[in-house]
Amino acid sequence: MQIKTTRLGVAAYLTPDGALTEENLPDLEAAVRQARATGIHQLVLDLCHVPCCDSLGLEFLTDLAEALRGAGGALHLAQPVPLCLQIFAITRLDQAIPIHEDLASAGRSFL
């Protein structure tokens, strides 16, 4: 999985290119660790190139959101595709993690 990482202000923006599944999660975990190692605790995951998310992906997102909250930060999701939106609604992840239609609104949420 390719992951583009950008830092803007107090947040890091990670854009994974692939499904959030068991085979791809190690790459995303490494990118998150790298971002957090720089002192960033505000993360935006840009999901525009994520076609789906399985149960391990959902667990990863939930655990990451909890860890960031514990460090005084937050996880926000941006631009999920319709299938991911459905998965987040069915599992109620959309009630636990803020989801934004675009990157600009996700970034503004940290101000």
Task: Spell out the per-residue pLDDT of the chain, length 111, in tens.
Answer: 999 999 988 899 999 999 999 999 999 999 999 999 999 999 999 999 999 999 999 999 999 999 999 999 999 999 999 999 999 999 999 999 999 999 999 989 988
Instruction: Name every residue whose Cβ is closer than 8 Å to that of residue 89 and which is 6 or more positions away in sequence.
Output: none
Q: Which ranges of 1-111 would DSSP assign to H, the alpha helix?
A: 25-37, 55-70, 82-91, 103-108
pTM summary value? 0.95
- Quick check: helix, strand or coil at residue 99? strand
The domain at 2-108 falls in which architecture? Answer: 2-Layer Sandwich (3.30)
